[in-house]
Amino acid sequence: MRLLHVPIVALCCLLAAGCAAPERPVLVDPNATPETQALFVNLQRIARDHVLFGHQDALAYGYQWFNEPGRSDVKEVAGSYPAVYGWELADIELGHEENIDGVNFDLMRGYIQQGYQRGGVITVSWHMNNPVSGGNAWDTTRAVPAVLPGGSHHDVFLQGLDRFAAFIQSLEVGEGADRHLVPVIFRPWHEQSGHWFWWGAPHTDSLDYQRLYRFTVEYLRDVKGVHNLLYAYSPNSLSEYPREQYWSWYPGDAYVDILGVDDYYTMHDGYGNIGDGIAAFSQQLRWLVEQAEARGKIPALTETGLDRLEISDWFTSKLLASIKADSVASRIAYLLVWRNTNFARESRDHFFAPYPGHASAEDFVRFTQDPLILLEDELPDLYTMPRRR
């Protein structure tokens, strides 16, 4: 009888649902840690019905405070920490103690550990200083060919990647057998379609950009043995170029886990749109979701926001309206609004989430109460691999 040849264990698994094998996602890193794999699978699942809300630098400072443990403007307005925490690593490559915005890297490690241990999702961006000129990320002195293997500044670049890797590999939590690294979504060389960074479209050719992205992944994964990263690809707004150009800089499916876009303006009428910006933006998000789902990737609005929130119902009338205008568009996994600079330190208004007392606070609460939008207190466990269904 054929059945007799089926190993006992396999037979058990066929009969008992509880014995079903866990899903194993196809990731950029086949050796990604179990928690990193679980994050991918859970984000992919949750994206069908929810969008996680994220805030850059949420725990480090807010409009009216700086480095006060436990605080977050989002929490003080909406009652919960954000579901996603964005962090910025610019200046880590120089061996500095603080990042470009004055956030101490040791404190940042602590904020990352806290956010993760509460169940939140961590993502990092990196406005790396220009390795050729020594200027900042916005110094567009030609640098991409110089940092690639064989280039004049390859060694400086490697030193930067080494320091980045050391930080990512220091994000340890747990004791004994439970000791593990915090999974992180890394968004290398973002907004490359724009002109403002040294890796941006006018300052390199697209093949060199792809080499830069692939080299970064291969060096971190294969040379440094970093296995707690998911990789996100995030050009700037799809309003700025023909859609197919989104792929011009694409390093390939083998190098990307998350398909993103950074878009601050499309949802506003008159920004490169004839007529309704909300319709235009929701169609772009729909396209992004379709592309990601067809490739087994996760779609995300990797950066967005309205600086200074001068439209007091922006969160519901623009952002939520755009996401909800199309049922496919609403399958993005998360969105991240940029940072709330501390007014006293930076002497300027530059904030993207409301703080207590701000005119948009009530609208933001309505936004977060929408069943589509999740803050941290509504998250399921994202770090345990679900069983196949």
- Which residues are designated catalytic? 191, 303
Instruction: Report in angstroms how near the CB of residue 125 gets to ligand BMA at its nearest.
Output: 7
In the complex with ligand BMA, the residue whose CB is nearer, 22 or 134, is 134
In the complex with ligand BMA, the residue whose CB is nearer, 196 or 247, is 196
Q: How many residues bind ligand BMA (CB under 6 A)?
A: 8
Angstrom distance (rounded) from CA 388 to CA 18 = 10
**DSSP characters for 39-71?**
HHHHHHHHTTT-EEEEEETTTTEETTEES-TT-
Lookup: tokens for 358: 């701000």
By CB under 6 A, tell whether 101 contacts ligand BMA: yes
Instruction: Report in angstroms how near the CB of residue 281 gets to ligand BMA at its nearest.
Output: 20
In the complex with ligand BMA, the residue whose CB is nearer, 318 or 339, is 339
- Checking 358-361 for CB contacts under 8 A at 24+ apart, the result is 358/63, 358/77, 358/309, 359/309, 359/312, 360/309, 360/311, 360/312, 360/313, 360/314, 360/315, 361/77
Q: Are 204 and 210 in contact (CB under 8 A)?
A: no
Per-residue contact track with ligand BMA, 104 to 143, x per CB under 6 A? Answer: -----------------------x----------------
Angstrom distance (rounded) from CA 388 to CA 149 = 42
The number of CA neighbours under 13 Å toward the Cβ of 221 is 20
What is the DSSP secondary structure assignment for residue 317, as one 8-state letter? I
C-alpha distances in Å from residue 323, one per residue of 189, 299, 317, 335: 25, 12, 10, 10
Radius of gyration of the chain (CA): 21
Nearest residue to ligand BMA by CB is 88
Site residues (CB under 6 A) for ligand BMA, limited to 323-362:
338-339, 350
Instruction: Report in angstroms how near the CB of residue 212 gets to ligand BMA at its nearest.
Output: 19
- Checking 110-113 for CB contacts under 8 A at 24+ apart, the result is 111/59, 111/60, 111/85, 111/87, 112/85, 112/87, 112/171, 112/182, 112/184, 113/171, 113/172, 113/173, 113/182
Determine the number of helices (DSSP H) and then strands (DSSP E) in the chain.
12, 13
Per-residue contact track with ligand BMA, 49 to 88, x per CB under 6 A? Answer: ---------------------------------------x
Residue ranges that bind ligand BMA, judged by CB under 6 A: 88, 90, 100-101, 127, 338-339, 350
